[in-house]
Structure 1
Amino acid sequence: MQLAQSHPRAQASTTTRAKRLLFVGPKPPPIGGSPLTVQAMLDELAFYPSVEIRLINTSPALDVRKKMTGFNFEKVKRSVLILPRFIYELPRCDVALVFANDLFAITLAPILLFFAKLFRKPFYLKPVGAGLDLFINAQKKILRGYLMFALRSMDGILTQTQLLKDDLQKMGLVNAQYLPGCRPLAPVAETPAKHSEEFRLIYLGHITRRKGILYLLEALGILSQTCPKKITCDFFGPVHDELRDEFNAGLQSQPNARYCGVAEAGTGPQLIANYDALVLPTYFDTEGHPGVLIEAMHAGVPVIGTQARTFPELIAHGVNGLLVPLQDSASLANAIETLAANPDLHKKMAEANHQKGREFRADAVVEKMLQIVFPDVKLQKK
């Protein structure tokens, strides 16, 4: 695990002391939503010469394909390494910003907050995903009260979704503010004209059960029997052990499905631009703003997703994509066929999705973040 370091391009270039931000979060590798968001923010922060980043990289040194839930030695080891580095760096910084999943929020974050209060440094939490409210409510009364006290004592909780912000504020956490996920607006090269006789789908992300992979394979099987147009789907991402055998069996039974390996980090928009639609049939109840949906926006490609809790914040059904019920392969197949059979609808959704992506550009999100954590300073980009 790589610990505290100055981001290479984020050093001050003026005689005035830079504002120092202690940034605690996971950088790639492994590739995933949170690490890519952290990298996008760090890259954008490098354009602010008056902001110096001190990074504590919390990325796990492990095989992401293995199930990593609950307590384990790797998480204990990371916590033991993070805490002393945080205590060492904090007095030299002006503000602490901590990315945390639910388990981190209930275990290590309150301890980090204690030292931030001790050194009189503002402390901001950036929850990963959109399930912190569900996690809090699932705890026993004493633990729930402890967690609520810690969260209420923070200078800000920067939620990835509007839904989580609203739910936390209803619980009395008025310090919750909305700061969406983001990706850099990378240039997308002109792609060859898509073949009208074939409708090409892409799935880009971790290949796990709750991402709805098996339902997508079922939908492809339905389409191979009922749709006059050829529908294909390329899968990119690490295959988790929990699903490996079933996924491989599904690929063998569906000749219109193909596994293409793990995409290189940072190439999402360029890769997605080669396809007609991105499909994400997840049924995770804690999904936030999946970075791959933002990458599809930047690529100008419509999305076929599910009615997950937060997806309507990103995808307006019938406007910039289509949303189907969770765990429903027949509805998923119908949505794919609808988009494949209507070129005018596809074009309209592609344009609308590209426009929607402006809300999630890394430059806009980082500018807003700096306004929150350094409210009394006007920071200029170079």
Structure 2
Amino acid sequence: MNSSSTLKYLIIGSSTNGIKENVGGTTILVDQMLDFFTNNNIEHRRIITNTYRSNLINMLCFFVGMLRNIIFVDVVILNAARKSMFILGPITYIFCCLFSKKLVFRKFGGRFESMINESKVKKYLSESTFLKSDLICIENKSTLDYFNCNYKYNLFWFPNTRKNTDLKVLDKFNKKFVFVSAVKETKGILLLIECFKAIGGNYTLDIYGPVVDENIKTSLENSSENVNYMGILSPHEVVGVLTEYDILVLPSFHDGEGYPGVVIEAFSVGMPCIVTRWNSLPEIIKHQYNGLLVEPKELASLTEAILSIDEELYKKLNVNTVDSFRDYDVDLVLPRFINRCEDLYK
């Protein structure tokens, strides 16, 4: 896409800033958007909300950035996760009202509707400010359906996206499993370690990601020989590393789980996934089609799924994951998003 856009954008969000420890779902997607705008010559400015360790300094920089930039743009895009939604959302909305700018609000992750309805204060704050945005971008379809049924907002389905790649996994099942995510209890990592310890044999599990919970370090150190902690990957390393394995396993019960980026990256290389029936995960993983679904926090369910994969099932899942990627290809989704932003001024 080589844009002919005449609009000017201000993009707000957290970034990896080239630091591995900052790698996460939201930072990768903000960097992805910034890269897309830059590579396609779409005029934009940016406010990075996690440049410093101090939240106070970051907030001061946000205010300064808004005052310096908002008068020069037509559309403000706020990329928000749970922690920033109720703080930056209302403030950004007020700025856009004061300066007569269009506001696009993009919420990362799942449970958007639940977060808004957690209290009367949050519900009122949301409906009075950022839910009045000119365009609201939602990651998962169940939340999109909720808003379509209960409100009359201008909505856009904006799923987690990744770049397509020519790299692909082998079509032979070698019993090599991989976990790529934040290494913490709510991602199901302790259950996964226990599972592979019980399975043993020639089934292997390699774990990548920042260790968030201190108690997990002990579990990793005392894990069985077929379980290995491999460190942290940069965003550019993930796809290449995935091609060294057969199956991605993510037995998450994380409260804000939406469409995990690593699952989309697995799709891009033809890698089947084992995930839990949790939040939005069943929207992207269809059981026995592009992966397997297991029950959250259930060792027996996870073990049964892993042991059920044979050569025939693996090849079937492998073919279908490639087809599944099309809905999440950044080079298809972001041009549609830009067109919706352009429509705000028509």
The 5 A counterparts of 1:90-239 are 90-139=70-119, 141-172=120-151, 174-188=153-167, 198-224=174-200, 230-239=202-211
Q: 1:251 to 1:316 in 2, by over 3 A?
A: farther
Q: Distance in 2 between matches of 1:44 and 1:316?
A: 30
**Equivalent position amino acid for 1:45 in 2:** F
Q: Distance in 2 between matches of 1:246 and 1:152?
A: 38
Q: Distance in 1 between matches of 2:71 and 2:92?
A: 13
Aligned to 1:116, the other structure's residue is in SS state helix
Q: Give yes or no for contact 2:276–2:293 (8 Å, CA) kept in 1.
A: yes
Give yes or no for the alignment of 1:357 onto 2:334.
no
**Equivalent position amino acid for 1:155 in 2:** D
Q: Give yes or no for contact 2:189–2:251 (8 Å, CA) kept in 1.
A: yes
**Equivalent position amino acid for 2:276 in 1:** T
Aligned to 1:239, the other structure's residue is in SS state coil
Aligned to 1:166, the other structure's residue is in SS state helix
**Equivalent position amino acid for 2:182 in 1:** H
Q: Distance in 2 between matches of 1:163 and 1:17?
A: 31
Aligned counterpart for 1:344 among listed residues 300, 303, 312:
312
Q: Give yes or no for contact 2:170–2:243 (8 Å, CA) kept in 1.
A: no
- Shift in Å, 1:52: 0.8
CA offsets 1:312-336 (integer angstroms, 9 cap, x no match): 2210011000010111121111111
Aligned to 1:24, the other structure's residue is in SS state strand
- Shift in Å, 1:191: 6.1
Aligned to 2:286, the other structure's residue is in SS state coil
Q: Give yes or no for contact 2:140–2:280 (8 Å, CA) kept in 1.
A: yes
* TM-score relative to the length of structure 1: 0.84
Q: Give yes or no for contact 1:151–1:173 (8 Å, CA) kept in 2.
A: no
Runs of at least 5 residues in structure 2 that lack an aligned partner in the other structure:
none
- Shift in Å, 1:44: 2.3
Q: Distance in 1 between matches of 2:262 and 2:82?
A: 21
Aligned to 1:79, the other structure's residue is in SS state helix
CA offsets 1:121-165 (integer angstroms, 9 cap, x no match): 1001111211221111112x2442122121332111101111122
Q: Give yes or no for contact 2:169–2:245 (8 Å, CA) kept in 1.
A: no
The 5 A counterparts of 1:227-376 are 230-240=202-212, 242=213, 244-339=214-309, 342-375=310-343
- Shift in Å, 1:76: 3.1
- Shift in Å, 1:17: 8.5
Q: Distance in 2 between matches of 1:367 and 1:17?
A: 11
* TM-score relative to the length of structure 2: 0.92
Q: 1:152 to 1:249 in 2, by over 3 A?
A: closer
- Shift in Å, 1:167: 2.0
CA offsets 1:188-238 (integer angstroms, 9 cap, x no match): 1x66785x6x410010111011011001011112212xxxx5110000111
Residue 22 of structure 1 aligns with which residue?
10
Q: 1:61 to 1:259 in 2, by over 3 A?
A: farther
Q: Distance in 1 between matches of 2:273 and 2:5?
A: 45
Q: Distance in 1 between matches of 2:145 and 2:328?
A: 19
- Shift in Å, 1:370: 0.1
The count of residues paired between Structure 1 and Structure 2 equals 341
- Shift in Å, 1:376: 6.7
**Equivalent position amino acid for 2:101 in 1:** K
Q: 1:123 to 1:248 in 2, by over 3 A?
A: same
Residue 48 of structure 1 aligns with which residue?
40
Q: Distance in 1 between matches of 2:311 and 2:345?
A: 49
Q: Distance in 1 between matches of 2:192 and 2:131?
A: 41
Identity %: 26
Q: 1:143 to 1:349 in 2, by over 3 A?
A: closer
